[in-house]
Structure formats: structure tokens, C-alpha cells
Amino acid sequence: MNHNRVVCFDLEMCCWNENGVGRTGEIIEIGLAEVDLKSGNIVKRAQYYVKPEHDEVSKFCVELTGITPRTIEKQGRPLGEVLQSMIKNYGGNKKIYAAWGRDDEILREECERKGLDMPFKEFLNLATLYRIQHRMKEKRIGHRDAQQALGIDWEGRQHSGYVDAYNLAKVALAIL
């Protein structure tokens, strides 16, 4: 296990907003940004589009994420192939993975439904770590708000897995 490297990741899923109620479906994007805790740098980034097996990218989802059905059709791959690329390029079980919230559970549940193995074992919920460090027992805080509270500028479009993973990597370097 390489404890000097942490792979920050963010998931985007098919999503709908019906009568003001949001719901999500299958994963359509995985963004990754690896940090080297010794050097304090972001050393690698990636973006993988995933072809959903059962869901479609809604108009609401396009507006929220910027991911279009055409992008998924042209660049998307089955989740199993994407997970193999993650393992090959980011070390799988040899690395610690981190997200803001429980993206690990979302990924785990989809892997179970599709008969796939998780690409990693070690996971850090950076939202929980941030709340502990800042004594926010009862209050939840979003990734972007926490980043701003740390004095770190947000870069890019929110709800892009690639952008969110990169911004999360900056937060990870500040709190780990």
C-alpha cells in the first residue's frame, strides 16, 4: 500500500429532476486526480466516460453535468473496462482512494449489480475528515463551500467528474 499517494475521484451519474425531486441512476463519468502527499503535488489526472447499460442521459443531466448522449456514445466504455483502466493507471488496491461523500458506496453498489469487483479497498471520505477537523458535528458542508472556506479557488465547471476530482485533490493536499 502506497500511503504517500491518494487517488481522489468523483462520479457523475445519469440524473433526473421530476417535480423538484432529484434521482440518479448509473455512473456515466469517473474523474480521477492523484496526489503525492510527500511533494504536495497533483501528479496525474484522468476522465473516463461510462456507457450505462439501462439508463439514458436526460436533458436535465446534460444541463447539470455538460455530458451529452453523443459524448457517451462516442467516448463511453462499459464500466468493467473503465475499472480495468483505473486499476492499470492508478494502482487499484495499491492506493488509497478518496471522495467527498460516499462515492465508494455508489460505485460498490453498481459493481455488485453488474458482477464487477471494486477497483480499490482503502477509502477516505474527505467530507467526514473535514467535518471532524473543523468540529462540524451536526453540520454538513459541500465540497465547493469547504474548498472556499480553506481559501482554495475553485477551477472549472462543477458537476464534471474530471473538474470535481481535480478540485478535490487540492482539498486533499490541504487537509491530509
The domains of the chain, with CATH numbers, are 5-175 (3.30.420.10)
Give pLDDT, residue 38: 96
Mean pLDDT of the chain: 95
Reported as a single tens digit per residue, the pLDDT across 59-82 is 999 999 999 999 999 999 999 999
CB burial of residue 23 (10 Å; 0-12, 13-18, 19+): exposed
Backbone angles phi, psi at 75, to 5 degrees: -110, -10
Give pLDDT, residue 139: 84
Residue (of 94, 173, 175) closest to 129 by Cα position: 175
The separation between the first and the last C-alpha atoms of the chain, rounded to the nearest angstrom, is 17
pLDDT at residue 43 tops 90: yes
Instruction: Decide if 11 contacts 107 (C-beta within 8 A).
Output: yes
Give pLDDT, residue 33: 98
pTM exceeding 0.85: yes
pLDDT at residue 157 tops 90: yes
Give pLDDT, residue 88: 97
